[in-house]
Amino acid sequence: MIFTKLLQKFVAAITLTLIGYRLKSLSQQSLSSSKSLPNVTKKTNFYFVHVAESDDLMPLAITRYTSYDDNDKVLNVEQVIYENDLFYLETEVAIALQHGVDVSLMTCEPFSNFPSIEKLIEQAHG
């Protein structure tokens, strides 16, 4: 119920910016904790949605992770609400992208407030 109310607030504040990236394979050097992670050879999508209007009820971010099978059919979709832990959010997003999981992140915060994600995207997109 609370998620529905939060999502309605996000949708109601429709002044938003959508940044979509089709990322190249991420190197293990992009993540400090990725010593045992396999390299991903397929392209991965990252979407950043900035909602301009904010209030105290908004979480740090609502993030949707979508994974696919070998035939590019949706295997799993998971939605996570991150209340206020930026480090945890950035770690989870980085690991998901490392594993070839598409990430959609919706927030009231500007992209510059997510420096680790910004750096990772620049490295993978460049």
Per residue in 48-101, pLDDT (tens digit) is 999 888 777 889 999 999 999 989 899 999 999 999 999 999 999 999 998 999
Write out the residue range of the structural domain in which residue 11 sits: 2-125
Return the closest-CA partner of residue 48 out of 97, 100, 98, 99.
97
Distances in Å between the Cα of 79 and the Cα atoms of 43, 62, 73, 93, 124 are 21, 7, 18, 12, 23
Domain count for the chain: 1
Residue of 81, 76, 74 whose CA lies nearest to 4: 81
Is the pTM higher than 0.85? The answer reads: no
